[in-house]
Structure 1
Amino acid sequence: MSENIKRKISEIKYQELIKFFLPLAVMPIIIGVSHNAVNASLARLPFPEITLAVYAVSKSITNIIKSPIHMSRQTVTSLVDDQSSFKFVSSFIFGLGVLYFLMIASLGYTPLGEIVFKKIIGLKDPQEIKFAYQALSIMAFIPLVESIRNIMQGLAISLKKTELITPGVVVRIISISLILLWVTVNQAVAGVTAASGVWFAGIAIEMIFITFALRYTFGSFRGKNGVLASLPNNVTKKVNLKRIIKFFIPIAVMAFLARFVQPVVQSGIVRSSIGTHDLAAYGVSWTLVMIFVGPLDQLHQCSLVYARELNNHNWQRILKFSLAAGTMVSFILAVLAFTQIGDFVLIKLISVSPAISSIVKKVIVAFILFPIIRAFRETFWGVMMQRQTTNIIAAAKIVGLVFVVLVFLILALTVEINAAIIAALALTAGEAADALTISFFIIKNNVLEKIYAENH
């Protein structure tokens, strides 16, 4: 038996999975802290209410337009294994960055922006429109640096060098904290300009750090022992534009549609409630839940990257690891929902009223199974990405979105419970439908057995 075969079927250790996953799990938490730091700084600058509102709107517009680019890491990890495939994939992803730059720039630098701000968003105050222009004129450049950063992070993930990612995120936090401190003390820059600028600067810092970290670790990108030469042989067919598009478009559409889930759910809560308490409680609940659930979104990287080492034993290890991570998060939510710790966090730390806190805890109860289901789904997502059948991922996501709407409507019409709780149950049901759809496809088509056979 050759060394190559031995490596493919070697036992995956839990310690190895923890070492691989932990840096990826920490990343969204740290980034979430940076966004909160920006909001805290905006509240201390001139025109805080207008600034916070316009920045939130501008950020939402930017995130919706560039949402597909979030899938570029997975595209690199799945399709890049040599210099030729890297050239194709990186050119495609950076091309998307240029496209999104032009789309956002058309709002930040042309009269089209004013039309969108007034007619679609509903901004009327000239100061609000001025701030929106300032924000988007800077945010337009974010897709350019984000595309390069994601390419480099995708390479690091494929090489199982996830420990190179976290330091860049930490440097980002330190850097933007210093910039925000200077802006807050000196009051020298408009708040929306500062916030948009540090968002761009933070991603640019990450991009520079991960690029140099990879180069330092491997000595070069294209050398004999460089980054590209060290990539695992993941791709069985030659990569071309058609294959990239076939892989990327379904998950890009999925990422785009996912941006509309929360507005739809919030709209349902507004229509089903008399006051604003339910909407406020749901907003607090979702934010708090996603602080802990966010890291689980990286679990698909485990089954994606380790797919070449899968046999039944290793698959069971990865699945158990993912479910353990999800169970841990569910336990944390249970503690918040059923103990005084939840009251302390909500009333003392977040400063919500006792009335809202009572509703929030009930909503969190409805979300308790959500982390376990998401961990299960993410594990199967990774398998499908490795098989480059992302159309199944997109189809499962659409099934999940349909279930969210249907369950919300059915519960709202048949039971008399808080609308925020109905929203949590609907999202959990949608997540379960997504997970069951994709796992059914994998089991029915013997996908895992095919991977085992290829690895031997």
Structure 2
Amino acid sequence: MNVPPAPTAGYITRFWSPLAATWIMMSLEGPVLAALIARLPDPKINLAAYGIAFSIAILVEAPVMMLMSAATALVRDRDSYRRLRIFAHGLNALATLPLCLLLIPRVFDALVRGLLDLPPDVAGLTYGALWFFVPWTAAIGYRRFVHGVMIRDGATRRVAAGTLCRLGAMTGTAILLFVFFDLPGAWLGPASLVTGVLVEAVAARWMGAAAIRRTLAIPGPSLAGAGTLTYRGIVSFYYPLALTSIIGLATHPMLTFFMGRAHAALESLAVSPVIGALSFIFRAIGLSYQEAAIALLGNDLENHRAVGRFAAGLALACSLGLAVFAFDPFFSLWFETVSGLAPDLAAYAWVPVILLVPLPALSVWLSYQRAVNVLRRRTRPITMATIVEIAAIALIFAVTGWGLDLVGVTAATIAFLGGRLISTLYLEARGETSRLRRERAAGRL
């Protein structure tokens, strides 16, 4: 893919918007499923069980999350494609094992029933829900690898088309199960999600065939001095990214554990997935910018000014979008009408939504920071920033949730926002963006 020098905002928008649409479509899955679960019997218990199972599945999926960024940054020819593909297959298989082990009854009882101290009905529904997630990790890992190759080739519209297939399959399955089957809501959610992901993986391989063929037609290192990509090089590049995902995604199970031991535990566990689904719609726009920035910055970061300016405007727009839902009539429309929560349960969400308004802007800026570090192949600062974030989250929750005895979901929101802010400031100071500013000031960029 040939990126023009100093790409305009229009060019960046055309390239990035299909990726944003992809993430927005994925972000709609949570609200759709939460709305259906809320309309089935025992909504509070089923929403809590679904939220716990989903948090565990996301944590297990963490090692494969960065395969899209890795493929976008590293796949440039036939050799690099084949090596990274083999690496991805091995990683997918390895990442599936922890969930299989967790489903052994004794392991589940010790780690989930015992550690989380769940009520028996919630624990039983959670165990059943986790069985549906067994194919989840491998399917996501494969499609993220293929999508990275497609993004590198400039085929971002096909990426969005594949996700449209996913959303359609997920929604169709959810409606079918809702209407015709007497399935607990906590099981309807993962069954629908996994069906959509499997369909998307198949669609990715089909829609990415042309991009893969073009990549395989390049016989060797495509850039002067690029060198051959070795397995050792892949591991050295990728393991900090995988560790970043594992540590970062551990946040959700950790906060679930914390909320279960805080004030208004069941209400917090029930409303948390609905709040998360709303905020994710706007955070997803920022998350989608990471791969676009990797592809558009240029191998020598020559387009950093244009890509950085676009990120700043996007950050402001995303946070303003979430702010609209912090107040009526949109607050009631989302939480009561769309999500189906009772007014007394929806009331627990108001303060957290207000607190979360800056989070989408931080997500955009973090995506830009990570893109710069990935292109310079300095992935360790990303990991360190994530370690700082999760440590800050734990400390802040201990103060707000247990020290000040705030409602669990409110304490979790304060902790999450505070941790993300500290992480972003750390990466700004210690990562490649600060070096980029110094080089620009010195006239080297």
Same fold (TM over 0.5): yes
Residue 401 (1) aligns with residue 390 (2): yes
**1:285 shift after superposition:** 3.4
Gaps in structure 1 of 5+ consecutive residues: none
Counterpart of 1:249 in structure 2 is 239
**1:311 shift after superposition:** 6.1
Residue 114 (1) aligns with residue 109 (2): no
Counterpart of 2:331 in structure 1 is 342
Residue from 199, 206, 220 that aligns with 1:205: 199
- Farther off after superposition, 212-221 or 120-129: 120-129
- Contact 2:259-2:265 at 8 Å conserved across structures: no
- Farther off after superposition, 42-51 or 235-244: 42-51
Whole-Å separation in 1 of the counterparts to 2:185 and 2:350? 34
Counterpart of 1:155 in structure 2 is 149
Higher RCO structure (Cα 8 Å, ≥6 apart): 2
CA 1:241 to 1:268, structure 2 compared with 1: closer, same or farther past 3 Å?
A: same
Residue from 140, 144, 147 that aligns with 1:146: 140
CA 1:190 to 1:335, structure 2 compared with 1: closer, same or farther past 3 Å?
A: closer
SS of the counterpart of 1:308?
Answer: coil
**1:121 shift after superposition:** 2.0
SS of the counterpart of 1:202?
Answer: helix
Output one character per residue of 1:82-110: Cα deviation in whole Å (capped at 9) or x when no partner: 111111111011101122334434455xx
- Contact 2:401-2:412 at 8 Å conserved across structures: no
Whole-Å separation in 2 of the counterparts to 1:439 and 1:127? 41
CA 1:310 to 1:361, structure 2 compared with 1: closer, same or farther past 3 Å?
A: farther
Residue 325 (1) aligns with residue 328 (2): no
Residue 369 (1) aligns with residue 355 (2): no
Output one character per residue of 1:3-32: Cα deviation in whole Å (capped at 9) or x when no partner: x9xx67612011121122222222233223
In structure 1, give the amino acid aligned to 2:95.
Answer: Y
**1:271 shift after superposition:** 4.9
Counterpart of 1:383 in structure 2 is 372
SS of the counterpart of 1:304?
Answer: helix
Residue 222 (1) aligns with residue 212 (2): no
- Contact 1:159-1:232 at 8 Å conserved across structures: no
Whole-Å separation in 2 of the counterparts to 1:427 and 1:37? 24
Residue 18 (1) aligns with residue 13 (2): yes
- Farther off after superposition, 183-192 or 206-215: 183-192
Whole-Å separation in 1 of the counterparts to 2:264 and 2:39? 33
**1:252 shift after superposition:** 1.0
Residue 91 (1) aligns with residue 86 (2): yes
Counterpart of 2:249 in structure 1 is 259
Whole-Å separation in 1 of the counterparts to 2:320 and 2:312? 12
Whole-Å separation in 2 of the counterparts to 1:433 and 1:130? 36
CA 1:392 to 1:101, structure 2 compared with 1: closer, same or farther past 3 Å?
A: same
SS of the counterpart of 2:66?
Answer: helix
- Farther off after superposition, 164-173 or 444-453: 444-453
- Farther off after superposition, 334-343 or 431-440: 334-343
Whole-Å separation in 2 of the counterparts to 1:80 and 1:343? 46
Whole-Å separation in 1 of the counterparts to 2:225 and 2:197? 29
- Farther off after superposition, 301-310 or 74-83: 301-310
CA 1:156 to 1:366, structure 2 compared with 1: closer, same or farther past 3 Å?
A: same
Output one character per residue of 1:267-289: Cα deviation in whole Å (capped at 9) or x when no partner: 54555536765666655433322
Residue from 39, 62, 74 that aligns with 2:69: 74
Whole-Å separation in 2 of the counterparts to 1:234 and 1:25? 32
CA 1:115 to 1:449, structure 2 compared with 1: closer, same or farther past 3 Å?
A: same
Output one character per residue of 1:43-80: Cα deviation in whole Å (capped at 9) or x when no partner: 78899888776665554443322221111111111111
SS of the counterpart of 2:65?
Answer: helix
Whole-Å separation in 1 of the counterparts to 2:227 and 2:121? 55
- Contact 2:34-2:274 at 8 Å conserved across structures: no
In structure 2, give the amino acid aligned to 1:378.
Answer: S
**1:428 shift after superposition:** 2.1
- Contact 1:373-1:432 at 8 Å conserved across structures: yes
Larger Rg: 1
CA 1:12 to 1:433, structure 2 compared with 1: closer, same or farther past 3 Å?
A: same
CA 1:39 to 1:239, structure 2 compared with 1: closer, same or farther past 3 Å?
A: same
CA 1:330 to 1:124, structure 2 compared with 1: closer, same or farther past 3 Å?
A: closer
Counterpart of 1:289 in structure 2 is 279
CA 1:351 to 1:55, structure 2 compared with 1: closer, same or farther past 3 Å?
A: closer
Gaps in structure 2 of 5+ consecutive residues: none
In structure 1, give the amino acid aligned to 2:108.
Answer: F
Whole-Å separation in 1 of the counterparts to 2:121 and 2:335? 37
- Contact 1:297-1:375 at 8 Å conserved across structures: yes
SS of the counterpart of 1:446?
Answer: helix
Whole-Å separation in 2 of the counterparts to 1:337 and 1:432? 20
Whole-Å separation in 1 of the counterparts to 2:440 and 2:261? 48
In structure 1, give the amino acid aligned to 2:333.
Answer: F
**1:297 shift after superposition:** 1.1
- Contact 2:37-2:185 at 8 Å conserved across structures: yes
